Amino acid sequence: MQKLIVIAGPTAVGKSAVALELAKQRQGEIVSADSVQVYRGLDIGSAKPSAAERALIPHHLLDIRDPQDTYTAADFQADARTAIKQIHQRGKIPILVGGTGLYLRAVVWGFAFSESGINPELRNKLRKLAEMEGPEYLHRQLKAVDPESAHKLHPNDLRRVIRALEVYAQNRRPISEQVQKTPTQPVYDAAQFVLTRSRESLYRRIEARVDAMLEAGLIREVQTLLAKGVPPETKAMQSLGYKQIVAYLTGRLTLPEAVEQIKRETRRFAKRQLTWFRKEKEMQWLNIDGMTVKQVVEKISTALAGNY
């Protein structure tokens, strides 16, 4: 079983700096598990590693899609598996780093995704049905063809209800079969760490990061993307930070309102990330308040001793 180190945690906790130092000490290469960093041109708002950092340590799965593209967890799983395999072939240790919990789970646990792709026409039809008949109507349809998924999904979770109906419509097999086919044990020999801080410390870092992104040119970055013809409704431009700046540039928010909304929604996002990670198996939690990057890496290295 191939070895894998996972560095997870909420946004702004300090994952990137720790992963970079760990990679230097362990002859590792970094695989980004971030759902926004995959997009070209979304650099500042996604806190993408700098050119200097990428020159120091090889990074994978950055800038691999145009902002207009839809990139899914299934896409990431396939790309990450390829990257991890190639890193091992070079005799290096892959370090999977990020805060997108589903991406991490998809890789470590080998989640069995449906082979059905995205069907925009069908999705649009289902959305219109929901608008006309209400979300309960689609939920009843799902209950008729996939009662297991319907039981797990609230009628108002429209995105997932539509996806479940989309999968069934394309292959006449319920999306709930994914769970049945997913391995019950990790597919990698993974050492997984979640970095945490006190709420006060994390929130201060989030606010400082948002201020730094604005100072670094986040507004200009969004203006450039829009000028290049990237539609504001794309998945990439609806991500945290970009969505609020688009709203500012189109007059729907003032700049102070947009900034406050980014900070508030980032705090909420970090809370959701921590909730997700608490449900994950096999993860070791490290509170890194008051520790230097090297001290954190030393603690991780102690936990890895004899195995990596």
Domain boundaries, the chain: 3-111+183-304, 120-181
Q: Which residues contact 211 (CB under 8 A, 6 or more apart)?
A: none
pLDDT tens across 66-93, in order? 999 989 888 999 999 999 999 999 999 9
Q: What is the pLDDT of residue 163?
A: 85
Give, in words, the CATH class of 3-111+183-304: alpha beta
Rounded CA separation 159/133 (Å) = 16
Same fold yes or no, 3-111+183-304 and 120-181? no
Kindly give the interhelix angle for 158-171 and 135-145, rounded to the nearest 10 degrees: 40
Instruction: Look up residue 220 and give its amino acid.
Output: R
pLDDT tens across 152-193, in order? 899 989 988 998 898 888 766 777 776 666 666 789 999 999
- pTM of structure: 0.82
Copy the structure tokens of residue 27: 């002859």
Query: Which helix (H) or strand (E) is 286 found in, with range?
Result: strand 283-287
Average pLDDT over residues 220-234: 97
Question: Which of these, 33, 41, 43, 11, lies nearest to 208 by C-alpha position?
Answer: 11
pLDDT tens across 97-156, in order? 999 999 999 999 987 765 556 677 888 889 899 999 999 999 999 999 889 889 889 998
- Contacts for 125-129: CB closer than 8 Å, 24+ residues apart: 126/162, 126/165, 126/166, 127/158, 127/162
Q: Which CATH number fits domain 120-181: 1.10.20.140, 3.40.50.150, 3.40.1160.10, 3.20.20.140?
A: 1.10.20.140
Rounded CA separation 29/181 (Å) = 30
What's the whole-number average pLDDT of the chain?
92
Question: Which of these, 198, 197, 190, lies nearest to 303 by C-alpha position?
Answer: 190
Rounded CA separation 153/156 (Å) = 8
Q: What is the pLDDT of residue 183?
A: 63
Hey, which bits of 12-99 come out as E strands?
Answer: 28-32, 59-60, 93-98
Q: Which residues contact 225 (CB under 8 A, 6 or more apart)?
A: 41, 42, 67, 237, 242
